[in-house]
């Protein structure tokens, strides 16, 4: 693999895994003060990450044909880990349905949302 390889296509589960890792790592390295600080939209950085984690969990449930379940209310320092678990669950569901339009669209939407979140962090 070349040192500066291009990122995989946003419709691919591998790209979703990459963006999940990048965003979760960014959250995990933030101080508690920064995690709790508000974003321009009003919620804290951790709150925005936990809201995105819920969206990723919902997308994984849709792909798997399962009902939506609410994530438990967790403390702000867990935001990176919760996002990682939910994002990787979605990537796994998408990989199991490789090539299906719904899986590709779920990957694309999740990658877009993860990159957008990372930009405001």
The string of pLDDT tens digits covering residues 40-91 is 888 999 999 999 999 999 999 999 999 999 999 999 999 999 999 999 999 9
At 5 the pLDDT is 55
Which pLDDT band, with edges at 50, 70 and 90, does 9 fall under?
Answer: confident
Residue 103 lies in a domain: yes
Q: Which residues contact 19 (CB under 8 A, 6 or more apart)?
A: 87, 110, 111, 114, 115, 118
Closest C-alpha among 63, 57, 61 to residue 94: 63
Range of the domain at 39: 13-120
At 57 the pLDDT is 98
| Tokens describing residue 24 | 């979760």
The string of pLDDT tens digits covering residues 14-43 is 999 999 999 999 999 999 999 999 998 889
At 42 the pLDDT is 87
Contact 57, 89 (CB under 8 A): yes
Residue 48 lies in a domain: yes
At 1 the pLDDT is 44
Residue 89 lies in a domain: yes
Give the span between the Cα atoms of 104 and 90, in whole angstroms.
11
pTM value is 0.92
Residue 74 lies in a domain: yes
Give the span between the Cα atoms of 118 and 115, in whole angstroms.
5
**Number of domains within the chain:** 1
Residue 8 lies in a domain: no
- φ/ψ of 100, rounded to 5, equals -75, 135
Higher pLDDT, 3 or 73: 73
Give the span between the Cα atoms of 8 and 16, in whole angstroms.
9
Residue 5 lies in a domain: no
At 80 the pLDDT is 97
Residue 7 lies in a domain: no
Which pLDDT band, with edges at 50, 70 and 90, does 6 fall under?
Answer: low
């Amino acid at each position: 693999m070349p040192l500066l390889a291009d990122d995989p296509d946003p419709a691919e589960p591998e790209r979703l895994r990459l963006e999940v890792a990048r965003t979760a790592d960014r959250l995990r390295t933030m101080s508690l003060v920064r995690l709790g600080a508000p974003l321009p939209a009003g919620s804290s950085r951790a709150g925005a990450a936990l809201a995105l984690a819920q969206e990723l969990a919902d997308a994984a449930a849709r792909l798997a044909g399962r009902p939506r379940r609410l994530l438990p209310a967790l403390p702000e320092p867990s935001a990176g880990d919760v996002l990682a678990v939910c994002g990787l669950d979605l990537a796994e569901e998408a990989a199991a349905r490789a090539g299906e339009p719904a899986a590709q669209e779920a990957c694309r939407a999740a990658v877009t949302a993860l990159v957008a979140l990372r930009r405001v962090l």
